[in-house]
Each structure stands twice: as structure tokens, then as C-alpha cells.
Structure 1
Amino acid sequence: MAAPIPFSEPPWLMGLPSAHYTDSHRKFQKAIRPFIQKHLLDHAIEWDKAETVPEHVWRDFTEANMLLPTLPAPLPVAWLKRLGIHELLGGLKVEDFDYMHSLIYADEMARSGLIGPPGSLTTGFAFGIPPILKFGDKQLQERVLPDLLTGKKRCCIAITEPDAGSDVANITTTAVKSSCGKYYIVNGTKKWITNGIWSDYSTMAVRTGSPGSGAAGLSLLVVPLKGCPGVSMRRLKVAGQVSAGTTYIELDDVKVPVENLVGVKGMGMRYIMTNFNHERLSVAISVTRQARVALSTAFEYVMKREAFGKPLMDQPVVRHRLAKAGALLESQWAWVEQFAYQMSRMPKDDADRELGGMTGLLKAQAGMILHECANTAVLLFGGNGYTRSGQGELVEMIYREVPGARIPGGSEDVLLDLAVRQLVKLYQAKTKALEAKAKI
């Protein structure tokens, strides 16, 4: 029996001490790993090549309540108990779930190294449902949450448009009230919408204000999709994560009841922003695990692959590449753990304010480190890393997913700039508060 390959697991799972994890976290990890391995990871490469995940996998996960850990912590305990859900796998009480459990779940779901298969299940659930939970009024929640939380129906988040990606304030999809006042009439297009093709509903960013109203004119609306008159959807072929169901949505005079407005008209931008901490941390965790899989797969390969009469690992240049990428990987993981720990100890409003910019930086750096680790793996695999079959097929697949880590969820350059602007804004606000306090 061989020891784990270096870099193949985070330090706390390699037997090293950590202050972040309790017995509850360790028990949860041991409970969910076999389920995820059996129902997802064992088939991830096969399903990603087929460009879709079978429908029964959605049922396998929802019937076991194994998509609930994609939601922000704390979980919606009152709702879950109303639906008869009191525990997650391993006996974890829903009220005890925190962001360290969330970290463990996201890391385990990405252990194949591919984001498409888990993303086909989790993305809409993780990011489409939370705004309804946090900001939706009672009647909207009563109509849609029971089916969404139990997986009877599916939801996606639809923000991005062909001409408005990271530039959310310039969304042009319109929602105008009908003459009778009972409906919003929605017109526009949404692009690169993960899980859209399978979704019954979309939590959608729409413009309810005038064309020049910017962020102040945005609202969130729960828009019916599958089978709804005026809605047409088609899948988009992207470089990686094809099995996640990236979708192009066209909306032509779609009638949506005014009761489907999420929260207050004109508050859409704020609602979207409060969703970003959870989204970007989730992405950073998964992407960091991808980097881990790429690097450890290369590490294992160069220990057995021979060239010039000796294993590649005996070449100093190979060890140098592994060392550089490994240092970046483990530094990133430590930062991911720190963020999850902080979010599990802070009220959400405080976390949104204090960590918002830095969570964007965390997500951006995860993409950069995935690029370094995937690039290292492909180079060390040589021709095998450039081939869509055989020994290097996994690292070749991961390499194609690098842009999917650096662009969606806020593109890298936008997030780098946002992080610093947010830090400046926070610094100025705190300085102003201290100066006001000193005058008292």
C-alpha cells in the first residue's frame, strides 16, 4: 500500500494538524467522500467527454440532500425542517453546518479535477436559490422554495449577457410592467448561463429602470424557463466544463407575474453583490482542488516516467517546476481555509463588507494558480499532456478548463481592480469613522 502522492490532498487530510477543523468537520468529510466518489467522480471523465451528466445523478444527489451543502452557511434551517430535512450525511444537523463544512463539500466535489460534472449539479442550486432565500418575500418563497430545495425543480442564476459580462451595471434585458399591471414583460438575451438548459426557473437580473439608470435600475426577477412561452434556449459549446450545460437564453415578450420580483425593485445590484462572496469562495475552493489534481497527477507521472536513462524526477528542472507550483498551491489553500474560517465566524453583513473585495482577489488568484499548475502538468507530461486520450488525458482536460476559472464569476482583471478599490473604500470609511469618534 503506497502513501498518498505529494500535493494530492490538503495538509489536514495528509495527517498534519490544523486549527480549522473540528470533529464535526472530519466526520462530515468521511461521510460524504464515498457518496461523491460513487455517484459522481468515478464517472466524471466519461460524462465530461459525453458532454452531459445523466439525469439520474441529479436525483441521486437531491434524494440524499447532497446539494444542500452548496448553499451559503448557515443553511435555511427553518425551511429545511419544514420539509422534513433535519440532518445531512454523517448525521450533521442542518443547524450546525458552517463554512468549513461548505469548504469540505466543494473540495470533495472537485476531486476528479473536472468542474463540469459537479457544476452540472451545483451551480444553479448554489447561486440561483440564495437570493430568493435572503430577499424573496413570503409568497414567492412559498411558491418556489419547496420544489427548489428538494430538487423537484431546478433553478439557475442569469446575470451575464452578450455585451455585459463582468460589467453588471450595463445589463440591457428589460422587464416592463404590462398595461394591466399584473406582469413584467421581459425581453433580452442571457449568455453563458450555467445549468440554464435544465432549469425551470432563473433568478435573473433585469432592467426595470430607464436605459441610462445603471446599477440603480436593476432588479432581480424569478423568470420561468422550461416550457415558458417566449423563452428559447440552446446549449453553448465552450472550451471546458461542457457537461455543466452552458446556455444561451433568448426572451421575447415573456410574461412574468409581478409577484416574482425578488425583494425591492431597483435593489438588484445590491442583491447580486451579496451573492458574490459565496460564489467566489466556492469557485476558489473548486479551482484550487483542480490545481491540486493537476500537480499531483504530474508528480506521480514523473516518478515513473523515464527519459535519458533515468526517471524524470531525477532531473533538477523537473523538481524545480514542481516546487514552484507546489508552493503556490499550498499557499493558496491556506488562504482558502482562512477565508472559510473567517466567513464561518462572521455575521454575513460583516463578511460582505470586510471580505467582499478580498474574496474577489482570492478567486482571481485561484485561476492564476490553476494556470501555473495545469501548465506545469502539461509540460511535464510532454506529448501525453497534449493528447486527448491515454496517460495525459486528465491534465489535458484540466488545462482546457483554465479559462473557465479565470473568466466567469467576475473576470480576473476586473476582480483584481475591484479588490483594491474595495480596500480603498473600506479604509476610507473606517478612517472617517475613527475621526468622527475622536471628535466626540
Structure 2
Amino acid sequence: MSSTPIIPFSEPPYLAGLPSPYYKETHLKWQKACRAFIQEHLIEHALEWDTIETLPESVFEEFGKAGMLIPSLPAPLPVEWLKRLGIHELLGVLKVEDFDYIHTMIYCDEMARSGLAGPSGSLTTGISFGVPPILKFGNKQLQERFLPDLLTAKKRTCIAITEPGAGSDVANIATTATKTPDGKHYIINGTKKWITNGIWAELSSMAVRTGGPGPGGLSMVVVPLKGYKGVSMRRLKVGGQISAGTTFIELDDVKVPVENLIGEEGMGMKYIMTNFNHERLTIAIGATRQSRVALASAMEYVLKREAFGKPLIEQPVVRHRLAKCGAMLESQWAWVEQFVYQMTQLPKATADIELGGLTALAKAQAGIVLNECAQCAVLLFGGNGYTKTGQGELAERIYREVPGMRIPGGSEDVLLDLAVRQLVKNFKNKTKAMETPKGLSKL
């Protein structure tokens, strides 16, 4: 519990001294260690680095050396691989085999404490979403070739799914991977767009079309990027999160060994959709912290800013705005906590079915909450909230980042629809399973 009063809405309840059923001693120790490391190596300079649009390469190296990119992977961690590589603990306080999704949530929350998604995203997006397909579906030779360098941050990677003509519509990916006549290589042609971290990545887990149209023709392949023949990349200027290195990739007769195939041909859609669950959950956690930073900064401002002879907090309309957003924020965080706890209790196969649609819904709702909280902050800061420097600089920056939460990982409208369709599908399957076959008696 904090020894001094904290600004309302600035911390989740468990860090504000209120009881919680979710956090064990291992989680609380991890939070303190995370806070100290991330504050020193990222948060102190996050706004400055985001302003110049790129983090120094040394920051990635510091995180990699400390093993502080590994917590961005889905829980449980790849314990056998990490121990082979000499990684037994994280920050000296947490054994890798004890890491669960609550530790993931704490890590993601602390990484977003600056209120900006770009600085943390520039470090973690590649390993968080690019490595899991290799871990989950790659065969032994593929893992042996790539995991040692990726898990120890000697090389950087990314996930390369979206294209100019296929964003959330993954089934319409057009980038082709055609086998050479001798069957030893794929020749890859096409483009990838909005690829976070791509500009720095030596490798990518890429969605390609190895078969006919539709989802059944998709596969995933490890494709070399930076400096590789036939690959050209350029950074894209996006509205927010610019320091995360959003990239446009062109692939012109890029030749890769067939051994770079992840899993089996034609299974790409399944691998991609499974991977989306972790991506959407971590986006939801980060967006909820961004909402908290925006709302708390507005609260701090209205407590001291005077207008019409009294502090803004004395104005009922101001309190009303804060109350509405505060209720949305704390409800969203309570849902995220509940959701993550469920992840620690359910078998992976069950969680994928039961929580898949809800993951999409949690991510979509997190973007909606962020939009409300960021807009509230900008309005309460007034002119300062519309200015790129000064007291409202952070609120203005967060508001610009809102679309970067509502679109990537599956755009909001697509996810809202997906969530309900998945819930209905589960309901119908369970109903069908309960039906008694004709001619059989329940007795």
C-alpha cells in the first residue's frame, strides 16, 4: 500500500492498497522488480524517445541482456528452451517455470506506464507475436535454427500478416510462396503493410499463400528480412506509436528454404488465429493502462487548475466526466484481471475455445474505453490538451494513439462481430452435445 495519497484512478486497486484475490507474493515481488527496471530503462525517457520517433538500439540490448523481453511471450514460458539457454530466473525474483498470465499482465501494465504504446511496442512486439508460431507449431529443426538467437535477443523478429488489400480480412492474403521445380525452396512475392518492428527485424513469421484462395491456402513461413536479397523495407508514418517502427515490406522473388515452413502447409489460418489471442489480450492490458494514465493526468490537472475563481474539480460537469470515464476504466481493469485469472486456471485448449471470442471482445472494449478516457483528458486540459508541448502534451499524444489500439490486432467492428459469432458457435456446439440421439433413452 502506498504511504502517500495517490491521484484517483492512477493505479489499479491492488497497487492502491485495496485487497485482491488474484495476486500472490510472487506477483507482488515481480511487480516491484518490473517497476524498478522498466522505470530506469524505459519510462524515464519514453516521451523523449517517442518524440524523436526511435528508441536507441542500446535499449533493446539492455532489455535483451536482462531477459526482460521474454515476459512478453505467452504464459507458460518455454521453460525447457530458456533453461537450455541459461535463463533460469527473471530479474532474480521469478523462476521461469513459475511465470503465469498474471505475471504477463503485470509486465504489460508496467511497460505501458508511460501512457505511450510506441516505446514499449518497439521492444516487445516482435518477440511477443513473431516467436510464438515457431514455439507452438515449428518442428525441431526450425526451432533449433532460430529460437536460440530470438530468445536471447541476438536477432529481432516480427509478425508479418497484414497487407494493403488484407488487413483484418486475413483469409484474403495475396502474398504467394511458390515452390521451385526441385521442391527445395519457396519463391515469395507480394507486400506486407503496417508491420510493427519490421524495419529492425532480421526475421519474420510471415503469412503466405501456398495454395488456392481462401483460408485453406494459407501457410506460415520464417522469412529473412533486413539485408536479405529481394526484400525492401521502408518505415510508414502513422498517427501514433511512431517509435514502434511500422513498416511497409516488398518481397520480390525472395528465395527461402522449404525447411522454413512453420508447421504444415495449409494450416496458416489456424496458426494465425491462435496467435491473435495473445496479441489481443496484451493490447487490452496496455490500452487499459493508457486509459489510466490519461484519466489520472486529467484528474491531477483539474485538482490544481483554476477557472472562474475555483479549481476545475469544483465544477459538477468536470466531476461528471471523470466519474463516467472512471467507471468504464475500473470496470475494464476488473474484467482484464478476471480474464487473466481464468487463463491461469483453464487448460490451454479449453481457454482457446471458451475465451477466444471474449478475448476479441476485451480488446475491442479496451479501445472504446481508451477513446473515452483520452478524449475526456484532452477536453479537461482544454487548450493545453490540444497542444503538442507543455502540460497537456501527454494527453494529446495518447489521444492520437487511440486508433492504434482500435485497429491493429483486428479492427474494432470486426472483433465485436467475431466475439458474438464465437459465443453463439460455442453455445450451439454445447447444445448439440447435450441432445439425445434418436432412439436412445435418457434412462
TM-score (norm 1): 0.98
Asked whether the 8 Å contact 1:27–1:90 carries over to 2, the reply is no
The CA distance in 2 between the partners of 1:246 and 1:21, in whole Å, is 35
Give distance in 2, aligned partners of 1:374 and 1:86: 40
Deviations 1:380-438 (Å, cap 9, x if unpaired)?
00000000000000000000000000000000000000000001110011111111488
Alignment match, 2:49: 47
Match in the other structure for 1:230: 230
Paired residue for 1:365? Answer: 365
Q: CA deviation at 1:349?
A: 1.1
Measured after TM superposition, the shift of residue 32 of structure 1 is 1.2
Contact 1:28 1:90 in 2 (8 A): no
Q: What's 1:356 paired with?
A: 356
1:57 is aligned to 2:59 = yes
- After TM superposition, list the pairs within 5 Å mapping 1:265-276 onto structure 2: 265-276=265-276
Query: Per-residue displacement from partner, 1:358-401 (whole Å, max 9, x unpaired)?
Result: 10000000000000000000000000000000000000000000
Question: Within 2, Cα distance between the matches of 1:323 and 1:97?
Answer: 35
Match of residue 171 from structure 1: 173
- State the AA in 2 paired with 1:230: G
Letter in 1 for 2:38: I
SS in 2 for 1:390: coil
Amino acid at match of 1:329: L
In the alignment, the residues of structure 1 paired with residue 18 and residue 274 of structure 2 have an alpha-carbon distance, to the nearest angstrom, of: 34
| Distance in 2 between residues matched to 1:380 and 1:223, nearest whole Å | 47
Amino acid at match of 2:312: L
- Superposed CA RMSD: 1.0
Structure 2 distance, partners of 1:59, 1:348, is 32
Say which of 95, 101, 106 aligns to 2:97: 95
**Within the alignment, does 1:112 sit opposite 2:114 as a pair?**
yes
Return 90-99 or 140-149, whichever deviates more: 90-99
Residue 439 to residue 270, structure 1, CA distance change in 2 (3 Å): farther
Q: Name the structure 2 match of 1:330.
A: 330
Cα distance change of structure 1 residues 90 and 19 upon mapping to structure 2, 3 Å threshold:
farther
Q: SS state of the match for residue 223, structure 1? A: strand
Any idea what the Cα deviations from partners look like across 1:254-304, whole Å, max 9, x if unmatched?
A: 001000000010000001111111111100000000000000000000000
Which residue pairs with 1:384 in the alignment?
384
- Tell me the residue number matched to 1:6: 8
Percent identity reads 74
For 1:89 and 1:38, how far apart are their aligned partners in 2? 14
Show the counterpart of 2:125.
123
Shift of 1:147: 0.1
Alpha-carbon distance, 1:2 to partner: 4.7
2: CA distance, partners of 1:237 / 1:276: 24
One-letter code aligned to 1:254: V
Provide closer, same or farther for how the CA distance between residues 439 and 42 of structure 1 changes in structure 2, counting only shifts above 3 A: farther
Q: Is the 8 A contact 1:384 1:391 kept in 2?
A: yes
Specify the SS of the correspondent of 2:250. strand
In 1: Cα distance, 2:94 partner to 2:58 partner: 25
- State the match for 2:375 in structure 1: 375
What displacement does 1:345 show?
1.1
User: CA 1:436–1:269 in 2, change beyond 3 Å: closer, same or farther?
Assistant: farther
Poorly superposed stretches of 4+, deviation over 6 Å: none
Q: Give the Cα–Cα distance (whole angstroms) in 1 for the partners of residues 256 and 8 of structure 2.
A: 53
Partner Cα separation in structure 1 for residue 156 and residue 441 of structure 2: 54
Partner amino acid, structure 1, of 2:231 = V
SS of residue matched to 2:392: helix
- My pick for the range that moved more, 89-98 or 374-383, is 89-98
Distance 1:436 1:263 in 2: 38
Give the counterpart of 2:21 among 15, 19, 22: 19
1:187 Cα deviation from its structure 2 partner: 0.3
In 1, Cα distance between the equivalents of 2:201 and 2:374?
32
CA distance in 1, matches of 2:14, 2:441: 48
The correspondence for 1:162, drawn from 147, 164, 184, is 164
Give how far 1:227 is off: 1.0
Residues in 2 aligned to 1:297 and 1:379: alpha-carbon distance in whole angstroms? 12
Equivalent position amino acid for 1:343 in 2: M
Q: Secondary structure at the match of 1:12?
A: helix
CA contact (8 A) 1:32 1:90 kept: no
Encode CA deviations 1:46-87: one digit per residue, 9 max, x unaligned.
000000000000000000000100000000000000000000
SS at match of 1:186: strand
Q: Deviations over 1:301-339 (max 9, x none)?
A: 000000000000000000000000000000000000011
Question: What secondary structure does 1:401 align onto?
Answer: helix
TM-score, scaled to structure 2:
0.98
**Contact 1:291 / 1:370 at 8 angstroms: preserved in 2?**
yes
Give 3-state SS (helix, strand or coil) of 1:391's partner.
coil
User: 1:89, CA displacement in angstroms?
Assistant: 1.4
Distance 1:229 1:85 in 2: 34
Contact kept in structure 2, 1:220 and 1:261, CA below 8 Å = yes
